């Protein structure tokens, strides 16, 4: 996708973090932006920042739970009615929980997979057929380094992001098989400053039954918070790299180069049929 001016971008998780920065990047390039999130105050702040920096840019905010397939269909309908089409879709919304796998409740699994995995699946289901019908479009799915290498204490998150990588690769192949001129990228950043460590703030009450704060969970949660806060690449730079990848139609996007080294090391461990690859140790 080499033209942004006058086009329409949809950003889920647009109320904070990478979603906010993606929206700002799109607005700077002359795009109309439609935000989707459950965080209405966050979306209002994103819209304010867009208006402050680019007063001429159009931005709409839509409260939507990405884990709800019908809500995502309604979101797509609303954006098409309002803006006449969608050219760039960011399936970006994401949340996290931490702790040993055996400690998690069913609500933990439902909430995280609902947002991180089903949110991408329902975004594809709601928007891609319309893109195919309009003859053009581009899809960017936010995965993670956790989709390629697994760290302890993040089992559900790792599983969800591995699935996003698989969905993205399959989507690109399915679109090629169908002869559709729709581009796809999957973005896999490592830790960077973002509010994901506070994602519980948007957890629905009906899925509030979470695991108790065991010592192992407390330790991993603190490690996550520290790693996120001390990430070396800001969200704005990752958003810029992502838009550049879209321009160049690059499928795999790794903002943190070190992750590719870990992926190679893991592949070598697989080839040896060795002990489980230890991401933290790099071997």
The pLDDT value recorded for residue 221 is 76
pLDDT grade, residue 1 (50/70/90)?
A: low
Closest CA to 184 of 232, 246, 134: 246
Residue 2 token pair: 């080499």
Residue 252: active-site member: no
User: pLDDT tens digits for 100-125?
Assistant: 999 999 999 999 999 999 999 999 99
* Average confidence (pLDDT) over 260-277: 95
Give the residue extent of every domain in the chain. 8-257
Closest CA to 142 of 50, 11, 52: 11
Q: How many CB atoms lie within 10 A of CB 232?
A: 10
Residue 16 token pair: 């904070």
Instruction: Answer whether 22's CB lies under 8 Å from 14's CB.
Output: yes
pLDDT grade, residue 167 (50/70/90)?
A: very high
Identify the three-state secondary structure at position 26. Answer: helix
The pLDDT value recorded for residue 211 is 78
The pLDDT value recorded for residue 180 is 98
The pLDDT value recorded for residue 226 is 73
User: pLDDT at residue 155 above 90?
Assistant: yes
* CATH topology classification for 8-257: Rossmann fold (3.40.50)
Instruction: Answer whether 43's CB lies under 8 Å from 73's CB.
Output: no
H helix or E strand, kind and range, residue 90: strand 88-91
User: pLDDT tens digits for 19-77?
Assistant: 999 999 999 999 999 999 999 999 999 999 999 999 999 999 999 999 999 999 999 99
How far apart are alpha carbons 50 and 227 in whole angstroms?
28
Instruction: Answer whether 66's CB lies under 8 Å from 44's CB.
Output: no
The pLDDT value recorded for residue 58 is 95
Instruction: Answer whether 175's CB lies under 8 Å from 139's CB.
Output: no
């Amino acid at each position: 996708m080499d033209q942004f001016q006058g086009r329409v971008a949809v950003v889920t998780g647009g109320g904070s973090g990478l979603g906010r920065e993606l929206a700002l990047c799109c607005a700077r390039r002359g795009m109309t932006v439609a935000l989707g999130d459950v965080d209405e105050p966050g979306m209002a702040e994103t819209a304010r920042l867009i208006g402050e920096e680019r007063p001429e840019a159009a931005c709409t905010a839509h409260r939507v739970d990405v884990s709800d397939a019908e809500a995502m269909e309604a979101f797509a309908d609303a954006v098409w009615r309002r803006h006449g089409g969608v050219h760039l879709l960011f399936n970006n919304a994401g949340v996290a929980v931490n702790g040993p796998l055996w400690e998690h409740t069913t609500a933990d699994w439902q909430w995280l997979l609902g947002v991180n995995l089903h949110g991408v699946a329902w975004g594809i289901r709601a928007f891609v057929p319309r893109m195919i019908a309009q003859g053009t479009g581009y899809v960017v799915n936010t995965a993670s380094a956790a989709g390629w290498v697994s760290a302890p204490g993040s089992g559900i998150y790792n599983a969800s992001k591995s699935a996003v990588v698989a969905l993205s690769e399959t989507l690109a192949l399915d679109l090629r098989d169908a002869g559709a001129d729709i581009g796809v990228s999957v973005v896999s950043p490592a830790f960077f400053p973002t509010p994901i460590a506070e994602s519980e703030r948007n957890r629905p009450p009906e899925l509030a039954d979470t695991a108790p704060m065991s010592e192992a969970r407390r330790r991993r949660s603190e490690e996550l918070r520290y790693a996120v806060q001390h990430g070396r690449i800001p969200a704005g730079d990752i958003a810029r790299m992502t838009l550049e990848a879209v321009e160049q139609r690059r499928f795999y996007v790794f903002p943190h180069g070190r992750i590719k080294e870990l992926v190679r090391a893991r592949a070598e461990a697989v080839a040896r049929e060795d002990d489980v690859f230890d991401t933290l140790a790099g071997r």
